[in-house]
A and B are shown apart, each in its own frame.
Chain A
C-alpha cells in the first residue's frame, strides 16, 4: 500500500472558492514538503513543515501538519486560475533521506 496517500486525486473548483488537499502518511512523519508542478516542468517549492502543529502561509496558501493524525493539509483561499496545476506532497521519515511522494492532486480552476 502507498506510504503517502494524497486526496483528492483531482479537483475542479470555481475561481474564488476555497479548497483543501490532504496528505496522510501511514508512518510517523519526520517532515513534509508541498510542491506545485505544471506538466512538463520542475517542482515549485511551496512549504516545508517539520513540527507537529506547525502551520505556514504564503500568499493565499496555508499548510498545516497534524502530528497526531500524521497528516498535512494544504488550503488555498479564494482560488485563482494561477493556482491550477499539480500539487505534490513529499514526506521524509528520518534525516537526510529521500522524499516519498504522494500521487499528486490535479487542480483546475474555472472562471
Chain B
C-alpha cells in the first residue's frame, strides 16, 4: 500500500543549530504535504501545508522563517527547524493524500533540542 516515510525518526541537536526532517511519499506523487507538530499530551496541530514548486502555507502563529519548508519534488518535502531552541522539542509528523484520495501519515520524527 501507499507509504509515507519520515527521516530521521529521532534527532537530538544543540540549541542554536538547524535540523532537517524529510517526508517522502514512497510509491505515489504528492503535490501537497502537510506538517504537524505534537507536544506531549497534546493533539496534533497543523503547522503548514507544503506545496510542490511553490511556497508553503503556514498556519497562524507558526514562524515561516523558523520552520523552513521545501517541497522541491513530487515525492519529497523537508522541514528545517532553524536556530532550534529547547521549546522546539516536539514530535513532528507529515501527511499526504495518496491513492484513493486517502490520507497517509509518516512515522513521525522526535526532535530534542538540548
Contact = CB atoms under 8 A, between A and B. Distances in A.
A101 B44 contact: yes
B44 A88 contact: yes
A100 B46 contact: yes
B60 interface: no
Interface in B47-78: 49
Given A96-B32, A101-B44, A48 B93 contact: no
Contacts of A102: 43
Contacts of A99: 34, 44, 46, 95, 103
B108 A95 contact: no
Given A41-B108, A42-B107, A48 B95 contact: no
Interface residues of A, number: 21
Contacts of B34: 98-99
A98 B106 contact: no
B112 to A, nearest CB: 12
A19 B105 CA distance: 26
B81 to A, nearest CB: 19
A96 B33 CA distance: 10
Contacts of A100: 46
Contacts of B95: 98-99
A111 B46 CA distance: 36
Given A88-B43, A99-B44, 7 more contacts: A42-B106, A43-B93, A45-B105, A95-B101, A99-B46, A99-B103, A103-B43
Interface of A: 33, 35, 39-43, 45, 48, 88, 90, 92, 95-96, 98-104
